[in-house]
Amino acid sequence: MSATIHHPSIIHLAPLRASARRQVVFFTAVVMLTGLATWVLADILWRGGIRKLEIAILIVFVPLFGMVALGFIQAVCGFLILLRRKDPFSISRTLPEKEPDPGELPATAIVIPIYNEDVSRVYEGVRMIYLDLVRAGYAKRFDFFILSDSNNPNKWIEEEVAWIDLCKQVKGFGRIFYRKRMVNLNRKSGNVSDFLRRWGRKYRYMVVLDADSLMKAETLARMVQLMELNPRAGIIQTVPSPIQAQTFFARLMQFSGTLYGPIFQAGLNYWQAACGNFWGHNAIIRCAPFMEHCSLPTLTGGAGNARFMSHDYVEAALMRRANFEVWMAYELGGSYENLPPTPLDHACRDRRWCRGNLQHAWMLTAQGLNPINRLHLLMGIFSYAASPLWLLFLVLGTLQGWFEATGPGPRFDSDVGLSSFLDVGGGRLALLLFAIAVTLLTLPKVLAVLLVLRDRKRRKEFGGGVRVMIGCVLEHALSVLLAPVQMIFNSRFVVEILMGRDVPWNPQQRDAAGGVDWEGIIKAYAPHTGIGVTWAVLAWRVSPALFWWLSPVTFGLMVSIPLCVVLSMPGLGRRLRALSLFVIPAETNPPSVVSHLEKNLESIHHRLTPSPWLGEQYGMTQVVIDPYINAAHCSLLRDKQAPGAAAHKHLQELADTLLAKGPAALNRKEQMVLLRNAQAVTDLHERVWCLPEAKLSHWWRMAMRDYNTLQDRPVTALYR
Amino acid sequence: MQRDMDLLLDTLSLPKAGAPELAEWDEAYGTVDNYFRACRVSSRLHRARLTAAVVHGAIRRRAAEAPTGEPLSSVAIKEARRLMDVWLSGLLPQRPDERPYSQAEGFVALYLCDGAVRWPHAFLNPEEAPPGFLDTLRSRLVKAGPDLEISSMVPRPLDRGIFPELADSARATFDRIPILRTLLFWTLFAAALVALFWYTRQ
């Protein structure tokens, strides 16, 4: 302990006063760049007076360009920091060279809230982390808590069986725990709070993981060590690298995230310093202050019971408000996550995030928040609100083009303002502004590529210099096509949410097991295609020049259906990987946790699986038929009291229906009611075995036959 | 050879008093055999012996009790579960509070130590358990979570400022009178049209 305790904390290395100076420099650069661009646009529009439409264009332009400028300055700062390889504000710098001895680390909980997730992926991830901790000698310092909020009865049973199997296989009883909440109050944040209320006092820290998170043992140990060295740190967020991408789309996102991510992260750390953000997972949290200060307030200030959907930003703001620091350990590495496999899944996730981020408007004026945290909240809102603004900007631009085309004569060519100085017309000036905007969007990518190209090892890990550049060009072209598609989606989400439409809590799709969903893609992207075609025809009729100006937007919308079909293909993704295109270091030089995870998950596909009709209800089948799983489920139920007369009658009716018609005759809620009662579950097991064959439904007869055929195979967590 | 045949015939001989129809015997045998397969008793020989013993026991029990019309297969399954319960409660250790283990706990302990797979011939065997089996079984009592250390976690008071309060009250009004939301939408739409009309006539 003493070895680490005397190591200087981040606040000694980089006092907060210095971080304030950085913020002044950073935001001055953003304001100056935005101001200059606004001046140029105002000059273009203000030719012999300015119309109201042009004023509107100018107003919408300012925040849109401001975001572009902020991204650019952030990337440049990040590039310079990575070039110098020395960042006084990197919290990882406080770490000593030597890895901590297991005895130095306090007990830490690893909590994994799950909700109807792919059971195999969740438990394989836990297995990999646990075995890596055992290998590194840290296993005794970490307890795992799988916190289930699943409301799919089959998933619930699968989770229980997988937990028992996993504990049997890795001898994890007493180290890996499973808890199923009966009431899903306040979703994920409620699940974590529930854990803290029960066990929070036992642990100084908790590491929050997502269902698809993966972390190396050394990273976990280093995170705890960082917390010990920096006693004012309330949350330390790692930067998870995307892994396991199969589809073209996921590979594209994985490639761009890994290639461009570092400079943006270093730049983000440059200006946020100790006022960092929490992304909800792959982070370590100091339990005591989190419990004391970060319980989420109701969204409506007591008028209702609505809760924040995106809890993480708010929790970071509350932690900072309590004078604890929130850092991003962007140099730590060894932290991984999966990405949505298709553009459609990405849009579904965005819909959920959009609602969560828009809710942050309720916190913007809350008393006592740090201005940087307010900015994080505002940027979160703007990351979605920017889409309808961009759409508005384009619509206003189209109207402007129409007025120009049908007006008395071209105003842009008049020799006033900047044009008279630079001796160029308004049209050329507009092109110059466009070129500046494109440069600001493109240059960060170029800088990121340069960083990789100058490092031989990194270059090789990305498949070589030529492949990096090919990948970068392709990625850029495709992101140009995808941007307007995402703009239409996000605009729709914002409008729907503001109109009060609810956003369901659906589990996230994390792999591409289902292949291409043609019907879903056509349904989802038909409006985009329609908008694109209509817009292009209108623009052409107004003027060919306007058509070409708008073509990057309209073309992306018009080809959205074929584009998304191609991007959703796992086969194409695999072929690209075989060609070493869009490869990342975690693929070419994978750490053992990643390679073992991939190998194990791959082996699942070669295992004997239940027939599809049985697979759909496999959890229910197991708990009713299997004597052990039935007993295990009953043991795990906390409430074992016999139900009252009315409840007993209802349970009896449900059980009768289940046995007479099969599980599909009951809806999810009814199945959950049955599964929550230990007596009902035991009775079901006895009845299914005691009923003569003639009185059993055909479904159960077949299920018993099939189940026993499978039973001889080893039962492991690895099944679907 | 003669000895082996004796064994087989012995296993298959039906009890005389209250003997069931062959079909009923078959169904009961099939069900119990299936049940033991679900218990992961993979040895066919051991399963056959256990199944025959259980069905015999069930026939004897049914003959000894008042007729209820309960099918033999049902009596046989209950008999199998009863035998397992007795067998497991004999193997599990005494609790400090002397409370008996539930049937479920016994089954779970057997499941966790893979008793039926690792020691197939020890399954339901009243004779002395093989070395290792008993210790492993007794060490496998499931615990889903560590002991609780209850604490509280409640939101602290937070002044959100004037705008969220105004937004809250507006939202509450819209929730109370939903038609207002629609009217507001129509008004905004009409205002946009009027603005457009006015603008194009400038």
Task: Please indicate whether, in this complex, the C-beta atoms of A301 and B74 are within 8 angstroms of each other.
Answer: no
Amino acid (1-letter code) at residue A57? I
**Distance from the B197 Cα atom to the nearest Cα atom in chain A, whole angstroms:** 13
Alpha helices in A171-296 (DSSP H): 187-199, 217-229, 248-272, 287-293
pLDDT at B158: 77
Task: Please indicate whether, in this complex, the C-beta atoms of A196 and B151 are within 8 angstroms of each other.
Answer: yes
Full DSSP string of chain B: -HHHHHHHHHHHPPPSTTPPPHHHHHHHHHHHHHHHHHTT---HHHHHHHHHHHHHHHHHHHHHSPP----HHHHHHHHHHHHHHHHHHHHSPPPTT-PPPPHHHHHHHHHHTTHHHHSGGGTT--SPPPTTHHHHHHH----SSPPP------PPP----HHHHHHHHHHHHHHHSHHHHHHHHHHHHHHHHHHHHHHHT-
Considering only CB atoms, A179 lies closest to which of B37, B111, B145, namely: B145
Considering only CB atoms, B104 lies closest to which of A164, A367, A634, namely: A634
Contact status, residue A45 vs residue A58, Cβ threshold 8 Å: yes
pLDDT at A298: 80
Phi/psi of residue A445, each to 5°? -65, -40
**A291, A630, A633, A690, best to mutate vs chain B, most B CBs in 10 Å:** A690
B97 touches chain A (CB under 8 A): no
pLDDT at A88: 86
A5 falls in which pLDDT band (50, 70, 90)?
very low
A193 touches chain B (CB under 8 A): yes
**Whether the predicted pLDDT of A409 surpasses 90:** no
Q: Which domains does chain A have, with CATH numbers?
A: 106-341 (3.90.550.10), 612-711 (no CATH)
Considering only CB atoms, B37 lies closest to which of A173, A632, A708, namely: A708
- For helices A119-136 and A217-229, give the axis angle rounded to 10 degrees: 70
Most confident among A428-432, A466-470, A615-619, B166-170 (mean pLDDT): A466-470
Q: Which of A603, B168, B10 lies closest to A595 in space, CA to CA?
A: A603
d(CA A705, CA A13): 68
d(CA A443, CA A439): 5
d(CA B55, CA B77): 9
pTM check: above 0.90? no
pLDDT at A265: 96
Mean pLDDT confidence for A209-218: 96
More confident residue, B108 or A712: B108
d(CA B137, CA B105): 11
**Distance from the A311 Cα atom to the nearest Cα atom in chain B, whole angstroms:** 13
pLDDT at B148: 62
**Whether the predicted pLDDT of B5 surpasses 50:** no
Mean pLDDT confidence for A695-713: 76
Q: Over pLDDT 90: what percentage of chain A?
A: 67
Distance of CA B19 to the CA centre of its chain: 34
**Distance from the A420 Cα atom to the nearest Cα atom in chain B, whole angstroms:** 29
Kindly report the number of other CB atoms within 10 A of residue A446's CB atom. Answer: 15
Q: Which of A31, A42, A101, A95 lies closest to A226 in space, CA to CA?
A: A95
Considering only CB atoms, B154 lies closest to which of A295, A628, A632, namely: A295
Task: Please indicate whether, in this complex, the C-beta atoms of A628 and B74 are within 8 angstroms of each other.
Answer: no
pLDDT at B189: 82
A80 touches chain B (CB under 8 A): no
Per this entry, what is the length of chain A?
720
B43 touches chain A (CB under 8 A): no
**Whether the predicted pLDDT of A2 surpasses 60:** no
Residue A59 structure tokens: 């107003």
For residue A627, list chain B residues with Cβ-Cβ distance below 8 A.
35, 38-39, 81, 107
pLDDT at A563: 95
Task: Please indicate whether, in this complex, the C-beta atoms of B38 and A300 are within 8 angstroms of each other.
Answer: no
A295 touches chain B (CB under 8 A): yes
Report A:328-387 residues touching B (Cβ under 8 A): 361-368
pLDDT in tens, B24-50: 888 899 999 999 999 988 888 889 999
Task: Kindly tell me the burial class for residue A718, based on how many C-beta atoms sit within 10 Å of its own C-beta (0-12, 13-18, 19 or more).
Answer: buried
Residue A666 structure tokens: 């009951």
Contact status, residue A554 vs residue A532, Cβ threshold 8 Å: yes
Task: Please indicate whether, in this complex, the C-beta atoms of A631 and B168 are within 8 angstroms of each other.
Answer: no
Task: Please indicate whether, in this complex, the C-beta atoms of A193 and B153 are within 8 angstroms of each other.
Answer: yes
pLDDT in tens, A589-613: 999 999 999 998 888 777 767 778 8
Distance of CA A634 to the CA centre of its chain: 35
For residue B181, list chain A residues with Cβ-Cβ distance below 8 A.
499-500
**Distance from the A39 Cα atom to the nearest Cα atom in chain B, whole angstroms:** 25
**Distance from the B5 Cα atom to the nearest Cα atom in chain A, whole angstroms:** 29
For residue A636, list chain B residues with Cβ-Cβ distance below 8 A.
142, 144
Task: Please indicate whether, in this complex, the C-beta atoms of B160 and A199 are within 8 angstroms of each other.
Answer: no
pLDDT in tens, A448-462: 999 999 999 999 999
Least confident of A140-144, B109-113, B145-149: B145-149
Interacting residues of A543 by C-beta distance below 8 A, sequence separation 6+: A401, A404, A405
Kindly report the number of other CB atoms within 10 A of residue A399's CB atom. Answer: 16
